[in-house]
Amino acid sequence: MRKAKIVILGAGYGGLMTATRLQKAVGVNEAEIVLVNKNSYHYETTWLHEASAGTLHHDRVRYEIKNVIDTNKVNFIQDTAVEIKTEEKKVILENGEIDFDYLVVALGGESETFGIKGLKEYAYSIVNVNSARQIKEHIEFQFATYNTEEEKKDERLTIVVGGAGFTGIEFLGELGNRIPELCKEYDVDPQKVKVICVEAAPMVLPGFDPELVNYAVSHLEKKGVEFRIGTAIKEATPEGIIVGKGEDEVEEIKAGTVVWAAGIRGNAIIEKSGFEAMRGRVKVQLDLRAPGHDNVFIIGDSSLMINEEINRPYPPTAQIAMQQGETCARNLAALVRNKTELETFKPDIKGTVCSLGEDDAIGVAFGKKMVGAKASFMKKMVDNRALYMIGGPSLVMKKGKFNIL
Amino acid sequence: MRKAKIVILGAGYGGLMTATRLQKAVGVNEAEIVLVNKNSYHYETTWLHEASAGTLHHDRVRYEIKNVIDTNKVNFIQDTAVEIKTEEKKVILENGEIDFDYLVVALGGESETFGIKGLKEYAYSIVNVNSARQIKEHIEFQFATYNTEEEKKDERLTIVVGGAGFTGIEFLGELGNRIPELCKEYDVDPQKVKVICVEAAPMVLPGFDPELVNYAVSHLEKKGVEFRIGTAIKEATPEGIIVGKGEDEVEEIKAGTVVWAAGIRGNAIIEKSGFEAMRGRVKVQLDLRAPGHDNVFIIGDSSLMINEEINRPYPPTAQIAMQQGETCARNLAALVRNKTELETFKPDIKGTVCSLGEDDAIGVAFGKKMVGAKASFMKKMVDNRALYMIGGPSLVMKKGKFNIL
């Protein structure tokens, strides 16, 4: 009998967790495992705001995939998935194609710009290592240019962050630490720097405890962040953004840097490959398979699951993607062994911590609210835990966060 | 009797040398000394190519003026000189004005673009700390952007250096060290990077020994530099440069970065203030005073002196500017003491060393040609000597170059 061939697309939190669990769960005689990823490395999506601000080097947020997989059991291919042909059971790659018996789509999400004009062209998004270091370099270039011009353009030193969700707030927290450094490095008067957070929704960090949100806003305001809540970005331009003001008016905010951190949608491959989706996310079955496809699992940012308690989708988080990876690996092992009963996925939200910079944070963990140094410590433990889950203690030692007060 | 008031404009090599020598040569009762400089710091113009390439941090190429002058004897004013009113014996500053009995103009040179279209707008010049770090950040931004674009624009990784004179060659040498680092930092294939040196003259490093020039060219070519000698830049554009090709044809060289390192002229204030000048440089008397102005000395890049032996002007170097500063200080001391016999300035060219990167160089010192590690060592000693002359051993310890093989 031919071995089942399992192909995992993507080595983010979900895909890499699937691969590392699967390599333990099935024997080499039971299945052939192939992991396909665009880069040779995995990166910590949840740390990218730090690389973007320049508070953490981008090499600290990534590690080589070969260092965490068992290369005797998992065949790693560095390539980019272009389209999934479900009928033909194969995936078109940029440099070839690969067939499968079982497929795991764990390709991560993409920035959702909601059709706002100019955002794709003129705003930066915190989406991967490449874009993170580009944001860092762009901001540094703006600061470096400021003093070279005879007529000083203060707007060079204005940074607009679009979105007061998780990524936006965490990025603002890092900027709070980074901007004093930038001012020193480039001989810039800190009074000239403006950081403006523009959010269309009427609140910051929707879904978070209001007391914690107040703590975060007040902390960031003290660090110089100006919040423009309930303000929609109408357009991004080479000079900055246009926002709505009142019913019909608009206002221009000039800014050398615009970072869009307001939305995520599923991977473009989902719709391209004919899956039924909402904003690129497939409402998966409880066993994580795509409806109508017994051999295709979709996990992470391209999957959609409803939290019945509040009748809203679960947010696209690393925590859930990793838990999905564990379930997905067990279900694949079951399928390979011709078991028909698959496990039902149920997220186990242990807590949520939102960083506010180097030594502050807000969060809820094990049902308890926390702020300040305690929450910041918890955040670093959450970050280290993600490393531990995928690469064990040695990866934590290598890439972990130990700058603990 | 009123004390004579000596105003020194500029704290570059010439101005700072004048100030530090003068503070020893005259007593507080003999003269009031005022030093005016745009920045609070002095920078090593001859090291800027390193800061521009990113091989040396820009803070390593500058130091606070207050740390090297005797503030009991020299009054430092941070301001920018706008115009010299020789008749009225005063200098208009950006934030005020200052009168003088004796004036030293040591304001340094400016980039000479020879009227080439677009150079001011689209090319960078290695002229001060601000511009150096902007070049560094610009190149890093180009490398950081490369991988973020779906359609890779290889021209982002092309650096054109206009000019194969001293600054151009030294900058190319640093790029030779820096580019492998940049490729590693931004995951860029070194094969994609191009460094092109475009020089209108038919030779590299005019005036240098041909054997040494061959050594330099061959060294840089090995590091990947492409030389386009006898090729004039006709225009700089947002996309790169247009060069002449044969008699009538032109050719476009696309480049993400164009650095103009081909010419220097005197300070704009010279012509603005009505001094007779050639390219902003005043042909000074042998005692370093401006013709017709018994109380105005002009030294450094805005002064012009002819080397009678070859009937060509001396090049605008740090070595000569510093020697001029010493003579200028002695002549000022003589004038303050009502002596009429002033000293004649005669450059004493101890040698010239051109760096080719971290551990290679070419040069002539004490009449001997040298290349490689020996020349590189000599270059670092030259750099340290400039520190020593102005700030003594403590400044050498603080800012000196000791990365000696």
Measure A185 CA to nearest chain B CA, in Å.
8
Instruction: State the DSSP code for B189.
Output: -
- Nearest residue on chain A to B41, judged by CA atoms? A187
Measure A71 CA to nearest chain B CA, in Å.
23
pLDDT of residue A1: 61
**Whole-number Å distance between alpha carbons of B174 and B194:** 14
Instruction: State the DSSP code for A343.
Output: P
Nearest to A137 among B134, B137, B187 (CB): B137
Helix (H, G, I), strand (E, B) or coil at B302: helix
If pLDDT is split at 50, 70 and 90, which confidence band does A403 have? Answer: confident
Instruction: State the DSSP code for A74.
Output: E
In angstroms, the Cα distances linking B8 to B72, B126, B328 are: 16, 24, 11
Angle at A275 (CA atoms; ends A274, A276), nearest 5 degrees: 115
pLDDT of residue A166: 93
**Whole-number Å distance between alpha carbons of B8 and A148:** 24
**Whole-number Å distance between alpha carbons of A120 and A99:** 34
Neighboring chain B residues of A138 at a CB cutoff of 8 Å = 141, 144
**Whole-number Å distance between alpha carbons of B216 and B171:** 12
Query: What count of other Cβ atoms lies within 10 Å of the Cβ of residue B76?
Result: 18
A residues 159-188 closer than 8 Å to B (CB): 186-187
pLDDT of residue A287: 97
**Residue ranges of the alpha helices (H) in B119-187?**
119-122, 129-146, 166-185
**Whole-number Å distance between alpha carbons of A58 and A50:** 8
Bridge partner residues of B167 (DSSP)? none
CB contact under 8 A, A134 and B140: no
Average pLDDT over residues A85-105: 97
pLDDT by residue, tens only, chain B of 405 residues: 679 999 999 999 999 999 999 999 999 999 999 999 999 999 999 999 999 999 999 999 999 999 999 999 999 999 999 999 999 999 999 999 999 999 999 999 999 999 999 999 999 999 999 999 999 999 999 999 999 998 999 999 999 999 999 999 999 999 999 999 999 999 999 999 999 999 999 999 988 999 999 999 999 999 999 999 999 999 999 999 999 987 889 999 999 999 999 889 999 999 999 999 999 999 999 999 999 999 999 999 999 999 988 888 998 999 999 999 999 999 999 999 999 899 999 999 888 999 999 889 999 988 899 999 999 999 998 899 999 999 998 999 899 988 765
What's CA B85's distance to the chain center, in Å?
27
Best to test chain A binding among B80, B128, B134 (most A CBs inside 10 Å): B134
Environment class of B222 (CB within 10 Å of its CB; exposed 0-12, middle 13-18, buried 19+): exposed
CB A176 within 8 A of CB A207: no
Q: How many C-alpha atoms does A191 have within 13 Å on its Cβ side?
A: 0
Catalytic residue among A50, A110, A170, A199: A170
CB A365 within 8 A of CB A33: no
CB contact under 8 A, A134 and B144: yes
Residue with tokens 């105003």: B7
When the pLDDT of each residue in chain A is averaged and rounded to a whole number, the result is 95
CB B128 within 8 A of CB B286: no
Could you confirm whether A358 is annotated as catalytic? no
Please state the ipTM of this predicted complex. 0.86
Q: Which domains does chain A have, with CATH numbers?
A: 4-38+79-111+264-349 (3.50.50.100), 113-261+351-405 (3.50.50.100)
B residues 59-88 closer than 8 Å to A (CB): none
Q: Give me A88's structure tokens.
A: 């033909």
What stretch of H or E contains A168?
Answer: helix A166-185
**Whole-number Å distance between alpha carbons of A344 and A288:** 8
Pick from B47, B319, B315: which is nearest to B170 by CA? B47
CB contact under 8 A, B148 and A138: no
pLDDT of residue B1: 61
CB B145 within 8 A of CB B182: no
